[in-house]
């Protein structure tokens, strides 16, 4: 099956120096997002900041984009997305921003053009909520939160 979705992308003025997000390898799941900060930002331990990317997208209905951390930044520096995975709605036309937090012990500098997160497209099934009095029975029932053991 080869179903490709066309995603429109717009770069905001002043960001022509930044590349359109791209997959670093042919079969990568995520498009890396670059920081569109004008000057470097220093993120102190436990500090969070909203990093602009300089881009907006339009995708067909039935898709979402998830903003996910990059494992290298998380492992080496404790840098992650606070709201991971961030949700980009199909009807959002504003600038995509990345909410980074520094969970490491050292200040971390975010430079312009640095690849700070990745964007993964997902299908969102069409759903409808229907209110009922009783839900169907299952073996699990209302057990959860470790109910099946360690």
Ligand X SMILES: O=c1ccn([C@H]2C[C@H](O)[C@@H](COP(=O)(O)OP(=O)(O)OP(=O)(O)O)O2)c(=O)[nH]1
83 annotated to a ligand binding site: yes
Cβ closest to ligand X, residue 99 vs residue 113: 99
Alpha helices (H) in 1-150, listed in sequence order: 71-77
88 annotated to a ligand binding site: yes
The footprint of ligand X (CB under 6 A) covers 67, 83, 86-89, 92, 96-97, 99
User: What Å distances lie between residue 8 and 31, 32, 56, CA to CA?
Assistant: 14, 16, 8
For residues 59, 63, 66, 72, the Cα torsion angle rounded to the nearest 10 degrees is -80
87 annotated to a ligand binding site: yes
> In angstroms, what is the minimal distance from the CB of 95 to ligand X?
7
Residue nearest to ligand X (CB): 86
Contacting residues for 10 by C-beta, under 8 A, at least 6 apart: 55, 56, 57, 58
> In angstroms, what is the minimal distance from the CB of 130 to ligand X?
23
> In angstroms, what is the minimal distance from the CB of 27 to ligand X?
24
Cβ closest to ligand X, residue 1 vs residue 129: 129
Q: Are 48 and 110 in contact (CB under 8 A)?
A: no
For residue 8, the cross-strand partners are: 58
Most distant CA pair in the chain, distance: 57
> In angstroms, what is the minimal distance from the CB of 26 to ligand X?
26
Cβ closest to ligand X, residue 108 vs residue 116: 116
Cβ closest to ligand X, residue 20 vs residue 139: 20
70 annotated to a ligand binding site: yes
- Altogether, the residues listed in the chain come to a count of 150
149 annotated to a ligand binding site: no
Annotated binding site for substrate: 70-72, 83, 87-89
């Amino acid at each position: 099956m080869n179903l490709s979705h066309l995603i429109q992308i717009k770069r905001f003025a002043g960001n022509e120096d930044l590349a359109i997000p791209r997959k670093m390898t042919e079969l990568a799941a995520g498009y890396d997002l670059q920081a569109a900060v004008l000057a470097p930002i220093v993120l102190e331990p436990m500090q969070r900041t909203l990093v602009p990317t300089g881009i907006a997208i339009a995708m067909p209905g039935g898709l979402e984009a998830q903003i996910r951390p990059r494992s290298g930044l998380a492992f080496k520096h404790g840098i992650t997305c606070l709201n991971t995975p961030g949700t980009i709605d199909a009807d959002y036309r504003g600038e995509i921003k990345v909410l980074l937090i520094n969970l490491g012990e050292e200040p971390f500098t975010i430079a312009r053009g640095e690849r700070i997160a990745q964007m993964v497209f997902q299908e969102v099934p069409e759903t409808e909520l229907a209110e009922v009095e009783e839900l169907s029975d299952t073996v699990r029932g209302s057990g959860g939160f470790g109910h099946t053991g360690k």
